[in-house]
Structure 1
Amino acid sequence: MKDVYLFSGFLGSGKTSLLTDTIRQLKEKGLKPAILMNELGKLPFDSQAVDEDIPLKEMLEGCICCTGSEKTEAQLQTLLAGEAFDVLIIETTGAAHPVEALDAVYSPLFAKQLNVKGIVTVVDSLLWLNRQTLPPQVRSLFLEQIRHAHLLLANKMDLLSDDQQAKITYELQSFNPSAAIIQTSHGKCPLSILERLKGTVRTTDVNRARIGEELALSTRLVSFKQSVDKEEFEDWLRTLPSSVYRMKGYVPVLGMKNPMLFQYSYGMVQWLPEYVKMEPVIVMIGEQISQLQVPGSV
């Protein structure tokens, strides 16, 4: 199973600096990283910072979290099938929502091969102090990237006074009390801190977060033991709390030869017939999802 880190953060926050420094630390430890990088434009500017000997896949002209989701799955499958590496680092574009980015990399096709250690959000400390000047939509995305992190790097601390540093740390801790916070400059974070992250706790069947360790955003892999009635399953979906953001995978449905491709997003449901017999599993993404009882899984 490959450990996966998802680097999030607003445009210009310092994600690429974090990436290059993390690569350096991994190589010094004898570990080989692979990189999946997302850029909105046609040219891969950030990827120029990655050494040629490191497996690299790029998503250009599209966001990893929306229209690029299927392409992302294809890139990940190529990496897993054709490259030897120890750790996967995914650097999202500054315009990516972390929940949707995590959804894009959690295909049921290879969910059992990936162990997402957590979402690391690099926070531009100067931008945090001036967040009220941002347009409402931009400010909302900026805050969402922070709210869903497992680890927050309060970056650019070298540009702030002691009082400003204390203010930012206190405010970030209040805004996302589940995340650890460290103060950084130039995006440098000790590898030992990243390795201690426990964004998910996996089993072969159901991913149950340990009591007291459930973080702001977690995932759960559910295997089905029996087919479900489609209408009854949809009735169950309508009872789900708003803290369940995403589900996708293959659900065995009574009367259907193969498990159906299933997607759930913020209350919206989509079913599609599948002409190949896929493993009946779904991935759930949300908050406080470990105890939800899924029909057909027991």
Structure 2
Amino acid sequence: MIPLVLMAGFLGAGKTRFLSELVPQLAARGTRVRIILNDFQNARVDAARLGALEALVTPLNGECVCCGSLRELLQTLYDVPPDPGSVMIIEANGATETDELLGHLTTDTRLGHFTLPVQLTVVDAARWQKRWWHNGLERAQVGTATHLLLNWTHKLDAARLAAVEEAIRAEKPRAAFVNTDTFAEWLHTLAARVQHDPQQGGRSTGLQAAEPRARAARAPHTHPFGSIALPLPTVVLRRDFEQFVAELPEQVVRAKGLVRFADDPGPMYVWNRVPGRARVRLDASWPHADATPTALFIGVALPIDALTEAAARLGDRVPPA
């Protein structure tokens, strides 16, 4: 099994620069590196910057890997042969919506030769939250991270650096702050562990992150991202469903599924909780005949029991037909 790393960060944060430092560190530890590098037009330029390193680099020009280039990204991952002792790093472009991409990387059953994803977000500390209307995207890329690297810190005085660190910790208190050396060592150790015990990669349990306590009891490493799909009642009250979505715990970074409402049980909607919006988004759907109402949750250390109970309770107040 191969560790799968999504590397995110706003435009100019220093992702490729960080990779140029990380790859030699991993190579020195005996860990092979594959890189998928996504950018709008100059992916091959950035790939050339990494060409002298001991890494296999695949450039993906075009749109973000969370949308327009998603199919190409997934096909590239499908085609990677089993290579225990290596790691796969996806360098997403600066405009990537990480929650959307993590949803695909976590739930796609054809990615069984990879671990569940971890996410390193590179933050330009000197420009943190100075992106005008893009500040929300920068925060969102931090909000789904499992690891954080602060870049360009030498441009800040001590007071500004402390304020930036405090703001980022408030945005994502569970993420680990790393540097090149500590992340290389962590990733090398992970590659060695999943090489000998694939269950530590998180995908082999079937219900992705549903057994974190059991795995933690016998191994020091558990993957931070997981997913679970839960059935919803056949129909629900709109008010109750909106409240259910609004009260999802903070561990859930992505939530979507199918739903029918008691006041109009004919159509089935695709529902989606969009980060930063107060209301759930509903889109018309044309489901297959065997499609049923469902809820898919993706996140860190998901509270499985609480989510299951909350989903089941949605049917308690629906009047009988």
Question: TM-score, with normalisation over the residues of structure 2?
Answer: 0.66
Structure-1 separation of matches of 2:73 and 2:287: 20
What secondary structure sits across from 2:118 in the alignment?
A: strand
1:33 equivalent to 2:59? Answer no
Q: Secondary structure of 1:121's match?
A: strand
1:176 — aligned with what?
Answer: 172
Number of the residue aligned with 2:70: 69
TM-superposed CA distance for 1:289, in Å, is 3.1
Asked if the contact 2:105/2:116 (under 8 Å) is kept, the reply is no
The SS at the match of 2:44 is coil
Q: Deviations over 1:62-97 (max 9, x none)?
A: 11001222221111111247x776110111000111
Matching residue of 1:286: 299
Residues 85-234 of structure 1 aligned to structure 2 (within 5 Å):
86-106=86-106, 108-116=108-116, 118-128=118-128, 131=129, 133-136=130-133, 138-182=134-178, 190-194=183-187, 201=202, 203-206=204-207, 207-208=209-210, 210=212, 218-220=225-227, 231=234
Question: For residues 189 and 63 of structure 1, what CA distance do their matches in structure 2 show?
Answer: 28
Supply the AA of the counterpart residue of 1:54.
Answer: A
The answer to which structure has the higher helix fraction is: 2
Identity %: 21
Q: Is the 8 A contact 1:244 1:289 kept in 2?
A: no
Q: CA shift at 1:144, angstroms?
A: 0.9
Displacement after TM superposition at 1:27 (Å): 0.9
**Residue 157 of structure 1: CA displacement?**
1.4
| DSSP 3-state at the match of 2:21 | helix
Give me the whole-angstrom Cα distance separating, in 1, the residues matched to 2:241 and 2:71: 24
Contact 2:3–2:86 (8 Å) recurs in 1: yes
Structure 1 residues 284, 108: CA separation in 2 closer, same or farther (over 3 Å shift)?
farther
Local SS of the residue matching 1:110: helix
What is the deviation of 1:107? Answer: 5.0
**Which whole-Å CA distance do the structure 1 matches of 2:228 and 2:77 have between them?**
18
**Equivalent-residue separation in structure 2 for 1:17 and 1:272 (angstroms):** 45
- CA positional deviation for 1:102: 1.7
| Distance in 2, Cα, partners of 1:151 & 1:50 | 22
SS in structure 2 of the partner of residue 45 of structure 1? helix
Inter-partner Cα distance in structure 2 for 1:63 and 1:88: 18
Measure how far apart 1:175 and its partner are: 2.3
| Partner residue, 2:260 | none
Quote the offset at 1:23 in angstroms: 1.1
Change in CA separation of 1:283 and 1:191 when aligned onto 2, cut-off 3 Å: farther
Q: Determine if contact 1:92/1:101 at 8 Å carries over to the other structure.
A: no
After superposition, residues 197-276 of structure 1 pair within 5 angstroms as 201=202, 203-206=204-207, 207-208=209-210, 210=212, 218-220=225-227, 231=234, 242=248, 243=252, 245-246=254-255, 265-266=272-273, 268=282
Query: 1:79, 1:200 → 2: CA distance?
Result: 17
The 3-state SS of whatever aligns with 1:143 is helix
Distance 1:218 1:195 in 2: 19
Aligned to 1:253: none
Report deviation, 1:203: 4.9
Secondary structure class of the residue paired with 1:177: coil
Judged with a 3 Å threshold, the aligned counterparts in structure 2 of structure 1 residues 244 and 175 are, in CA distance, closer, same or farther, namely: closer
> 2:46 — aligned with what?
46
Is the contact between residue 226 and residue 301 of structure 2 (CA under 8 Å) also seen in structure 1? no
* Per-residue deviation, 1:202: 5.1
Structure number with greater Rg is 2
Q: TM-score, normalised by structure 1?
A: 0.70
Residue 151 of structure 2 aligns to which amino acid in structure 1?
N
Residues 107 and 288 of structure 1, relative CA distance in 2, 3 Å threshold: closer
Contact kept in structure 2, 1:36 and 1:91, CA below 8 Å? yes
Please give the alpha-carbon distance, in whole angstroms, between the structure 2 residues aligned to 1:59 and 1:120.
19
CA contact (8 A) 1:125 1:155 kept: yes
Letter in 2 for 1:148: T
Q: Deviations over 1:164-209 (max 9, x none)?
A: 2222222221222111224x5xx77541245678x98555122137
